[in-house]
Structure 1
Amino acid sequence: MMTQELFREDAMLLHCDATVTGVGEGGVLLDRTVCYPLGGGQAGDTGWLIAGEQRWRVTDTRKSKEQPGAIVHLIDGDPPALGAAVRVEVDAARREAHRRFHTATHLLCALLPYPVDGCSITETYARLDFHTDEPFDKDAIQAGLDRLVAEAHPVRHRWITEAELDANPGLVRSMSVQPPRGLGRVRVLEIDGVDLQPCGGTHVSNTAQIGAVVVTRIEKKAAKTRRVVLGFAG
């Protein structure tokens, strides 16, 4: 059974009611969830499952290896029973960090027009690896980020058909993560006047909500790879 992915349409939704549809792979499968599973460079959500007085800590969220389209919530302790009704709650602070960092990486893509060959979005930092041998100016990148955040560009997602994506192959910036195929449509993230590319992650709704992010370092990882690492100010 596939899991309804509520986070795809509303990254601000932090809880929902769900039913346990399976137990295995170290966790619990649900019919619907607000928890984002590890993928696309973004870490999985953590949080809680709640049933009455019982609480289970969700230590990670992953895509099921055994049931395509299902999401596994890794938990501490013995799982709830099959068919049990539970409340799913996301760790709000972790989700907020992921949303801010992920949108900030899209701003980096707008500032640095090179293919992306690596990405990691976590609670404490984000990084993008760009396929280029061009040198990067840390101060210039920081100034660009500060400007795009301050300009308060609206951020929204929409869906396009796979045919539309095929007609616009330049929308795909990543060399290592390709949009999922076979569903007939692809989710794209649009930062008004700044960036448009396929993305299934969680984001803020306006660049101003990213707040103060800093370029903590720039590294030459290989002859054709330049890494930019972001952190939060303070």
Structure 2
Amino acid sequence: MQERFYFDPYQQTLTATVVRHDESGVVLSETLFYPLGGGQPGDTGTLTLADGTQLTITDTRRDKETREIHHVLGAGAAPLAPDTPVTLTLDWQRRHAHMRVHTCLHLLSVVIKAGVTGGNLTAESGRLDFDLPEDMELDKDHIEAELNRLIAEDRQVRVQMTSGEALQRQPELIKTMSVTPPLHLPEIRLIEIEGVDLQPCGGTHVARTGEIGPVIVKKIESKGARNKRVVVALA
């Protein structure tokens, strides 16, 4: 299966054929729907048949063993036969919001220079948990100002590729302490924010930081002796 979201996260429609439809969802010949992972929700949208029948895709998941992507249909959808042609249409407004928030979280990891112990995002907001030195304090207004400065600078966001072997020689690029990238793979995807950040990531991102728009820091809360959670939201 070709996974178009890796190559062009802005593509919104795609024609494909059904490979299999079972209780886990519909597997297609290719897809542009991003599956749940890395703290980013699975995409939603519609699947349209040749006769115009439109089915709702309520979630997208990846099988951990086979790596296949399953498009979960709404309740009551009739089974689709193999080789059935379909047209996928992404809920673009929701996906684009995920892209904006996800890139903002990468900027948050630039502003707060500490290890990341977890994270999550929605179409409205996102959060990162940081492992902070005991003497490090977080200033909400400063973080918000720095985030909006980096956003306003409209820095380019690019995809780079590296190998697991090369990444092992650059451990400083791995910011997430709770999840290690698949270092055994010959190719690992990196997201570069021009001049400020480079880190492994399989999610979807905007092309420039200015596309994020203004953001606010909603709250900072303690999640343990050293663990601080910072929640940001699109303004």
TM-score (normalised: structure 1): 0.95
Q: CA offsets, 1:1-49, max 9 Å, x none? A: xx21110111111111111111124310112100000001111110111
180, 186, 189: which one aligns with 1:187: 189
Match of 1:72 in 2: 70
Match of 1:217 in 2: 219
Partner-residue secondary structure (3-state), 1:148: helix
Give the direction of change, closer, same or farther, for the CA distance of 1:18–1:181 in structure 2 (3 Å limit): farther
Paired AA for residue 189 in structure 1: I
Contact residue 163 and residue 183 of structure 2 kept, 8 A:
no
CA distance, structure 1, for counterparts of residue 219 and residue 9 of structure 2: 28
Give the direction of change, closer, same or farther, for the CA distance of 1:181–1:17 in structure 2 (3 Å limit): farther
Give the direction of change, closer, same or farther, for the CA distance of 1:138–1:182 in structure 2 (3 Å limit): same
Within 5 Å, give how 1:192-203 maps onto structure 2.
192-203=194-205
Stretch moving more, 199-208 or 157-166: 157-166
Within 5 Å, give how 1:99-114 maps onto structure 2.
99-114=99-114
CA distance, structure 2, for counterparts of residue 176 and residue 163 of structure 1: 20
Stretch moving more, 140-149 or 26-35: 26-35
Q: Segments of 4+ in structure 1 off by > 2 A?
A: 180-183
Within 5 Å, give how 1:4-83 maps onto structure 2.
4-52=2-50, 53-65=52-64, 68-76=66-74, 77-83=77-83
Partner-residue secondary structure (3-state), 2:217: strand
Partner-residue secondary structure (3-state), 1:11: coil
Q: CA deviation at 1:177?
A: 2.1
135, 150, 153: which one aligns with 1:151: 153
Match of 1:231 in 2: 233
Partner-residue secondary structure (3-state), 1:126: strand
Partner-residue secondary structure (3-state), 1:144: helix
Stretch moving more, 115-124 or 180-189: 180-189
Stretch moving more, 17-26 or 204-213: 17-26
Contact residue 101 and residue 125 of structure 1 kept, 8 A:
yes
Unmatched runs of 5 consecutive residues or more in structure 1? none
Q: CA offsets, 1:160-194, max 9 Å, x none? A: 11121011111110012222344311000000001
Paired AA for residue 59 in structure 1: T
Q: CA deviation at 1:69?
A: 2.2
Q: CA deviation at 1:51?
A: 1.1
Match of 1:93 in 2: 93
CA distance, structure 2, for counterparts of residue 204 and residue 100 of structure 1: 6
CA RMSD, Structure 1 to Structure 2 (Å): 1.2
| Percent of aligned positions that are identical | 44
Contact residue 26 and residue 75 of structure 1 kept, 8 A:
no
Unmatched runs of 5 consecutive residues or more in structure 2? none
Give the direction of change, closer, same or farther, for the CA distance of 1:69–1:26 in structure 2 (3 Å limit): closer
Paired AA for residue 154 in structure 2: A
CA distance, structure 2, for counterparts of residue 82 and residue 22 of structure 1: 6
Partner-residue secondary structure (3-state), 2:223: strand
Q: CA deviation at 1:81?
A: 1.6
Contact residue 19 and residue 30 of structure 1 kept, 8 A:
yes
Paired AA for residue 62 in structure 1: R
CA distance, structure 2, for counterparts of residue 50 and residue 175 of structure 1: 41
CA distance, structure 2, for counterparts of residue 201 and residue 31 of structure 1: 21
Alignment: residue pair count? 230
Paired AA for residue 100 in structure 2: R
TM-score (normalised: structure 2): 0.94
CA distance, structure 2, for counterparts of residue 84 and residue 46 of structure 1: 20
